[in-house]
Amino acid sequence: MAAQLNSRGHALLSDDLCHLDIPDHGLPAVYPSAPRLKLWSDALNELGWGAEHLEPDPSRTGKFHVNRIANKLVQPSPVRGIYLLEWGEFSIRRLSGLNALRRFLSAATYRAKLLESIGLSQHFGRSMTVLQRVPIWELRRPRDLAGMSKATDLLAKHWSEGRIICT
């Protein structure tokens, strides 16, 4: 999905992991990670991109490093909305309350063992701060890569309706 959004002119911030800064006031900001994507060969085929001239991922056969990224960002960007991806029929719905917190904590906790150094309570508090300042949405789309364009259209329509302001 990130590759498709980038090919449509949206800047790439990160493939999957990023650094989030939470100031005392205002919107959190996300810092761009390395300007590359790691895509499976079936995703490359769906995008119409060939795997030739791409660096294979040494740990996973059929996955490739894509460095041809347009609209690379170098400055942090404000987080105006968070979309948690799920499989299912095309839809976007707002999450709130304990459901939003539970879902966000699950998505934002990558390798919980690493969080022990900062403390899980601090992670929980930071997550609560993010959820108080940023709307969180669930974006459902089928597991079929052929529907990725429709999922991207749905997301772009959501932005155009003024629910989330994107650059």
This prediction has a pTM of 0.86
Helix, strand or coil for residue 99? helix
Tens of pLDDT along the chain (167 residues) come to 889 888 888 888 888 778 899 999 999 999 988 888 999 999 999 998 888 889 999 999 999 999 878 777 788 999 999 999 999 999 999 999 999 999 998 888 777 776 677 677 888 888 999 999 999 999 999 998 888 899 999 999 999 887 654 44
| 46-81: b (≥16 Cβ within 10 Å) or e | bbebebeebeeeeeeeebbebeebeeebeebbebbb
**CA–CA gap between residue 162 and residue 15 (Å, rounded):** 25
